[in-house]
Amino acid sequence: MAHGIAYDPLHDVVIGTEPLAGSIVFFRGGSQGNVAPLRVIQGPHTEIHYPFQPAVDVKHNELWVADVVSHGLLVFPLTGNGDIPPLRVIRGNRTQMTGASGVAVDTDHDLVIASGSTHGAPAIFTFDRRASGNVPPKTVISGPTTGIVSGWHVQYYRGKIYAIASNHYLGASYDQGGFEPRPKCDGPLLAFTGPLGFVGVWKETDNGDVPPQAIIMGPASELLHPDGLAIDPGHNELFASDSVRNGVFGYLVPDFFTVAGPAR
Amino acid sequence: MSNRRLVRLAGMAACALGLLIAAGSQTILGGGHWSAPTWVGTAAAQTGPGVGKPVARPKLMGNGERLVEADANGHPKGIKVALPAKFQALLDSYAIPGGDIMPASALCDPFPEFNGIAIDSKAGIAVLSDTNLKSVLIYSLAVPAPPDDSNLTQYLGWVKGPNTFLSFAAGVAVDPVRHEFYTTENDVGDDVAGFPYSANGNFHSRVLAVPHGSYGIALSQRYKQMAVSIQHNAEIIFYRLQAHGAERPLRSIRGPHTGLADPHGVVWDDAHGEIFVSNYGNWNQGYWDADYSGGGKYFPPSIRIFKDDSKGDAAPIRVIQGPKTELNWPTGIAVDPVHNELFVANEAANQILVFARDADGDAVPLRVLGGPRTGIRYPMGVAYDASHDQLWVANFGHTAVVFGRADEGDAPPRRVIRNAPEGTPSAGFGNPMALAYDSKRDQLLVPN
């Protein structure tokens, strides 16, 4: 099971996160079949709990990982291996961030973008890329105007944040440990419910309760509750996976990749 | 959308805007816009002994596909489905660029893809789960399905739709006494759904809330219990048969001495008082315990056998594990108590391994069934049909293949059950929740 994947073009390596083993696995690009990983980051020093989306920073040779259960962003050497401690961790009450599920890096402006929750509401954060510890975010996009009811993965390209608003109501019946049904649980909830999800684009400088600059949403888009997100600006393409559709959908959206030129 | 892109996607996908693409070629086989699956069945068909009841057709909600169960006031039951009003107002005024953009490519599979399987030999049925369209298909054990027949195999029933509570349908078990079958929902929906053998269409299932990550399921008539494996919390959890709602478990096998690590298939051998569990070996307490700092681990795959009255941190009475076993992602399992054999769907190796039922340690399989002629490819489920002395193997895709029990090596199947026409490519997606773009190869990477 993998809840995150990234490609490292510098080393030609595919990177996957594995929540059920608390690990990050690295495979040679183009690998196929039952092959062993090149490297595995795993162990008590890694501080990995429930890794979701990874993000590659080839400029600084770093790998970022969003961790849902520890509510943090972990940074490892891009060529790391074994039971190694993270280089930096962004985590704590001053971050205002819980349930970090997505991460992307902007090396031009030394920012890292994360999706998660703040005070129980879905949110998109930016932090100083070089920061470590319990640090406040630079910006937080959150609120009813955003349309995000639940988030998932994010991507970044030239001043724009591309974010998945899954808007999937994941009502777990049991506690995280699987010991007891949650209070007031009278049975399982229907699996695929919640408002229609979408792909949203924000300016990296947006802050507060800001609507997306552009969206992909609606019945013709085929998206119900999208999850994964990949962009290929070179071909003006954006791809979203949808676990309800059990499929992957590609969109030709050249306007989504025009340089925003955000004021700074 | 260029041909370049279509060709690139062909190696990993099944359909693009309804255009079926032959894997590895540029041949476009068909046309037309892909549409969402439609639900089969009517309220009139939703009757059966002991389970479920006819229900009014639920209200269609905004997402256009899934129907949401409504309460007495017509409101969705305990679920918020409306977008925030401020955002909805922006949508209504078309204030946000973009909008309802049609995809230029769609990688999806319009046919079912098999996963788990269970057989009731006396009733003469095989029940197979389908993760792709979130359904269950029921076949006669005597269905004629010669391997050279390229058409879809006729099923007795196809259960799917929102009232079924099927989502990521995985494990299947049958209750030959009450004529019911059960399925686990491995992801998104955290439930076990129960149905009568006669269920069809959008049948209102009897559902039980279970922890997240349920996979295998097995029943005991002696204990009148069901055992459910939970991948994420590394446990086997037990409920009474026909439990529903939020009924609490009766017991669980869980803890470091159990050796459970990402358990999958479960078999309850009432005749010998044992429970068999196939174990991938992935382990991570940090998944559910934020205070745990021990890190994740990989253990070798195994089959762990417990006394069937075990509970708590119980050690298994036998463990099949080691290099001679050839275990590699052991998924579905089955026991033949008459010939004293254990069948293991060895998913990553495209094999069925056969062990002595009482095998222990680094045991060599009695037989290995696998090879290109077998048609075994990503086997997820395996079940034994005692009435015909045959073995059914459910591939993660468009076929289930049937063998004689003693077949081995690269033996061809006696029958091939098809849920799609022969040659239909299978997307092979299992809840794709992540994506990446390989810029060097111009490929999309989709993990399951």
CA distance linking residue B51 with residue B122, whole number of Å: 20
Q: What is the mean pLDDT of chain A?
A: 94
Q: Domains in chain B: how many in total?
A: 1
Each residue of B224-239: pLDDT tens digit? Answer: 999 999 999 999 999 9
A-chain residues near B209 (CB < 8 A): 173-174, 181, 185, 187-188
Q: What is the mean pLDDT of chain B?
A: 85
Q: Tell the burial category of A74 from Cβ atoms under 10 Å away from its Cβ (0-12, 13-18, 19+).
A: buried
CA distance linking residue A219 with residue A19, whole number of Å: 32
CB contact under 8 A, B295 and A224: no
Inform me whether the pLDDT recorded for B430 exceeds 80: yes
Residue B16 maps to a domain = no
Residue B151 maps to a domain = yes
For residue B338, give both structure tokens: 């008459």
Calculate mean pLDDT across residues B343-359. Answer: 98
CATH number at residue B121: 2.120.10.30
Q: What angle do CA A236, A237, A243 make, to 5 degrees?
A: 165
Q: State the DSSP string of B212-271.
A: TTEEEEEEETTTTEEEEEETTTTEEEEEETT--BTPPPSEEEESGGG--SSEEEEEEETT
CB B203 within 8 A of CB B45: yes
Residue B274 lies in domain: 114-418
A194 to chain B: closest CA residue: B81
Give the model's pLDDT for residue A1: 72
CB A48 within 8 A of CB A35: no
CB contact under 8 A, A9 and B293: no
User: Does B229 reach chain A within 8 Å, measured CB to CB?
Assistant: no
Q: Say which DSSP state A29 is in.
A: T
Inform me whether the pLDDT recorded for B35 exceeds 70: no
A198 to chain B: closest CA residue: B99
A34 to chain B: closest CA residue: B348
Inform me whether the pLDDT recorded for B15 exceeds 70: no
Each residue of A108-162: pLDDT tens digit? Answer: 999 999 999 999 899 999 999 999 999 999 999 999 999 999 999 999 999 999 9
Residue B80 maps to a domain = no
User: Does B348 reach chain A within 8 Å, measured CB to CB?
Assistant: yes
B-chain residues near A220 (CB < 8 A): 100-102
B-chain residues near A6 (CB < 8 A): 436
Each residue of B268-294: pLDDT tens digit? Answer: 999 999 999 999 999 999 999 999 999
Give the model's pLDDT for residue B130: 97
User: Does B387 reach chain A within 8 Å, measured CB to CB?
Assistant: no
Residue B444 maps to a domain = no
Residue B1 maps to a domain = no
Give the model's pLDDT for residue B59: 30
User: Does A218 reach chain B within 8 Å, measured CB to CB?
Assistant: yes
Sign of CA dihedral A44, A45, A47, A51: negative
Inter-CA distances, B178 with A108, B48, B118, B197, Å: 65, 11, 15, 9
CA distance linking residue B209 with residue B410, whole number of Å: 42
CA distance linking residue A248 with residue A237, whole number of Å: 13
> What's phi and psi for A126, nearest 5 deg?
-125, 140
Burial B331-353 (b: 16+ CB within 10 A, else e): bbbbbbeeeebbbbbbbbbbbbb
Confidence band, pLDDT 50/70/90 cuts, at residue B79: low
